[in-house]
Structure 1
Amino acid sequence: MTGRTGGSVVVLGGSGFLGRHVCAAFAAAGADVVPVSRTARPAPAGCHPVRLDLLAADTGALARLCAGADVVVNAAGAVWGGTEQDMAEANTHLVDRLTRALATLPARPRLVQLGSAYEYGPAEPGAVTGEDHPPAPNTPYGRSKLAGTRTVLRATAERDLDAVVLRVAVACGPGAPAASLPGIVAAHLAEGRGTLRLAPLLAHRDLVDVRDVADAVVAAARAPADRVAGTVVNIGSGRAVPVRALVDLMIALGGRPLRIVEERTAPGTRSDAPWQRLDVSRARRVLDWAPRRSLEESLADFLSAAGVSPARSRPTGQPQPPGHQAGA
């Protein structure tokens, strides 16, 4: 194995949805992995968890934590359930302290910052969003993540950090949060509820398996610095999937009846952006990475982990959710 993946890897937010899979991918690659989080959760073999409240940790504590590491992955952050202040603290201020801490180290690790496709803001239906698209987020979450990305890019220019930002689409797969749309659908399937009321399912989303995201992080850690340092790289499927098709596929895979009622009075989604589809050609070029897992595989594995035994073979007549491959 080349690059920086064979040594010590510190994963901030190592107990979260993305962080757990990132830790597992690095451990499988032979790294000595240190997952860092406030909670003590079981970690994959080869991992040595550290408990630390990252929001309370100052620059000195973060520097001591990362000293000697070959790679630092920032998978920590507040998502849609938090307040605007929570998001600013976790997605922006923590990143500022982290980059300052890494700049003090005599041997600086590579930083892989996990950003979000929601940094781009709304896109026109049919559009394919590349990394050069001017970001204009319209949610507190997107704005806080964009501020974190800009902090990392500024640190590479002003403090000579070796850092790359992966701008991740909507991740799905085993362990997806219970509050996510797949989590809500899976809970209703597992409990045998007959009806699920949702806000109108009109959006299209770029959906990528969380294990493919973890593979992209490993690829970003091993890539030559002259190809990735100071860059933003989209990580997604390159397809726009109708959210309604996502729900229908989950029900078909679960093999249990569930009636979906779309109504405007039901709880809304975390973003009203109607369309999301990323251009992932840069990831193919600079990381030699491409998504490998199909949406059906991702959802089937998620349902199995959530206690719903899915049918591995697609039911007769069940269509593949529509979408278009991004240009390579």
Structure 2
Amino acid sequence: MRRAVLVGAAGFVGARVHAALVRDGWDVDPVDRAACADGDVPSAVAAALASPADAVLCCAGATTGAPDALERANADLPAALAAVVASAAGVEPGSVPRSVPRSVPRFVHVGSAAEYGAACGERPCTEDDPPAPLSDYGRSKAAGTARVLATLPDAVVLRATTVIGPGGRGFLATLCRQIAAAPPDGVVHVGPLDAARDLLDVDDLAAAVVAAAHPDGSGAARGVLNVGTGVAVPLSALVARVRAVTGFRGAVVPDAPAPATSAQVRTQCSDTTRITHALGWTPRIPLDATIRRTWLWSTAP
């Protein structure tokens, strides 16, 4: 049985990755900061690697907080984990073995399309586009990607677009919760709806993590791989689809303040040609299905 050490197993993405790994027949050793002595995740991973592992997966991170907190969660932690993997396998940090020894676990880190910022304009971003993050979050994620690949050049960084689904905290989940709390003919206040985003179901991202972790068939995959749908959905269209799924008859008024980066990045979507060729991964879950699941989650007792 394949074995994975999963960091961030209790989080929004990590919990779905855990479930996907189990369905795929993996033995999963979950590591979460809350369960570690003094929050020392790298030491917990080093202890877990005392037994052979096929993959170390980093799904931990933070989306909000002060710049130094984001740097610790999104750059320092994955860099430390990459160093632990290199040390446990006896690999010189920064080196690329001609053939990766079977003792070297596959290291997969979940990055973010926020690393691109507004670099791509209206077109889909490719992995060859240089990072140009505009937010503290994006800068911390870009730093994490750079430091991971500097330590383990054979690592895989999955640069995910806007991740949505049950348990999320972004625009879709917030809108569903607002509608659930409002009267049927009430008013819901949201931010501006003129941006467009590549909306990725969290279970599609989990499937990409599992595909990247596989020791079989993923040997050609390394470096940054975009994970998304390749389609930028206008937030106004997303609201219309949410209304259709939920049956909400009230008003959705875009008069709330916008996040700072939303005004700077009007359109974000990613080209996923490379991950399809490398891993055979494509998104499979329709947007309306994700909306339906998120709505059911938001209305659950």
Q: Which of the five TM-score ranges fits, normalised by the shorter chain? A: 0.7 to 0.9
State the one-letter code of the partner of 1:21: R
CA distance in structure 2 between the partners assigned to 1:165 and 1:183 by the alignment:
25
CA distance in structure 2 between the partners assigned to 1:286 and 1:138 by the alignment:
29
TM-score normalized by the length of structure 2: 0.88
| Pairs within 5 Å for 1:283-302 | 283-302=275-294
1:119 aligns with 2:115: yes
1:22 aligns with 2:17: yes
1:125: how far off? 4.6
Kept in 1, the 8 Å contact 2:212–2:218? The answer is no
Kept in 1, the 8 Å contact 2:8–2:58? The answer is yes
Unaligned runs of 5+ in 1: 1-5, 40-50, 309-328
Partner SS for 1:112: strand
Which residue in 2 is equivalent to 1:247?
239
1:150: how far off? 0.6
CA distance in structure 1 between the partners assigned to 2:218 and 2:231 by the alignment:
29
State the one-letter code of the partner of 1:89: R
Moved >6 Å (runs of 4+): none
Which residue in 2 is equivalent to 1:63?
46
Which residue in 1 is equivalent to 2:36?
52
Which residue in 1 is equivalent to 2:132?
136
Unaligned runs of 5+ in 2: 90-102
Partner SS for 1:208: strand
RMSD: 2.0
CA distance in structure 1 between the partners assigned to 2:280 and 2:8 by the alignment:
25
State the one-letter code of the partner of 1:90: A
TM-score normalized by the length of structure 1: 0.81
| Pairs within 5 Å for 1:27-106 | 27-39=22-34, 51-52=35-36, 56-57=39-40, 59-67=42-50, 68-79=52-63, 81-106=64-89
State the one-letter code of the partner of 1:19: G
1:12 to 7, 12, 22: 7
Kept in 2, the 8 Å contact 1:123–1:275? The answer is no
Structure 1's 277 and 58: CA in aligned 2 closer, same or farther, altered over 3 A?
closer
- Give the percent of matched residue pairs that are identical in Structure 1 and Structure 2: 37
2:258 to 265, 268, 273: 268
Partner SS for 1:9: strand
Pairs aligned (count) = 282
1:271: how far off? 2.5
Partner SS for 1:228: coil
CA distance in structure 2 between the partners assigned to 1:280 and 1:140 by the alignment:
25
CA distance in structure 2 between the partners assigned to 1:262 and 1:290 by the alignment:
33
1 or 2, which has the higher helix percentage? Answer: 2
1:123: how far off? 4.3
Kept in 1, the 8 Å contact 2:7–2:57? The answer is yes
Cα deviation code 1:172-231 (max 9, x no counterpart): 122222xx21122111221234111222111110011111111111111125454113x1
Cα deviation code 1:120-175 (max 9, x no counterpart): 11145531110001111111101100111011111124xxxx41110001111222
1:165 aligns with 2:157: yes
